[in-house]
Structure 1
Amino acid sequence: MTVLSSIFFLLSACEQESSTEIQTSDESASVREILELPDHMPTPAVPDFNPLTNAKIQLGRFLFYDEKLSANQAQSCSSCHDQSLAFSDGVAQPLGSTGHQLVRNSQGLANVIYHTTFTWSNNSFLELEDQLNVPIRADNPIELGVTDAKLNEVLLRFEQDEEYLALFAAAFPDEDDTISMNKIIFSLASFVRSMISASSPYDQYLAGDKTALTEQQIAGYQLFNGEKFECFHCHSGINFSSSYRDANTASDATEFPFFNNGLYNVGGDGSYPEEDQGLYDASLDPADKGLFRPQSLRNIELTAPYMHDGSIATLREVIEHYARGGSLTESGVNAGDGKNSPLKSALILGFDATDEEIEAVIAFLESLTDEEFITSPKFSNPFEE
Structure 2
Amino acid sequence: MNNRNLLPLAIALLMFPQIAQTLYSPALGDIGRVFKVSPEAAAQTLSVYFLAFAVGVVVWGRLCDRIGRRPVMLVGLAIYAVATVIALRVSSFNGLLLAQGLAAFGAAVGSVVTQTLLRDRFKGAELAQVFSLVGIALAASPAIGLFSGASLVEAFGYRGVLIALVLIAATLWLWSCYALPETRPQQTPHVCVWETLARMLRDLGIWRSALWIAAFNVALFSYYSLGPFIFQRLNLDATWFGYSGVILALGSGFGAWANRRLLQAGCAAMQLIRLAAVTGLLGGIGVWWLQDSGAFVLPMLLIVLAFGMAIPNILGLALVNYSDRLGTAGALLGLIYYLLIGAGMMLAGWSQALGETLIACSAVALLLTIRATKAIV
Q: TM-score if structure 2 supplies the norm length?
A: 0.23
> Which structure's CA Rg is the greater one?
1
Greater relative contact order (Cα < 8 A, sep 6+): 2
Structure holding more helix per residue:
2
Q: TM-score if structure 1 supplies the norm length?
A: 0.22
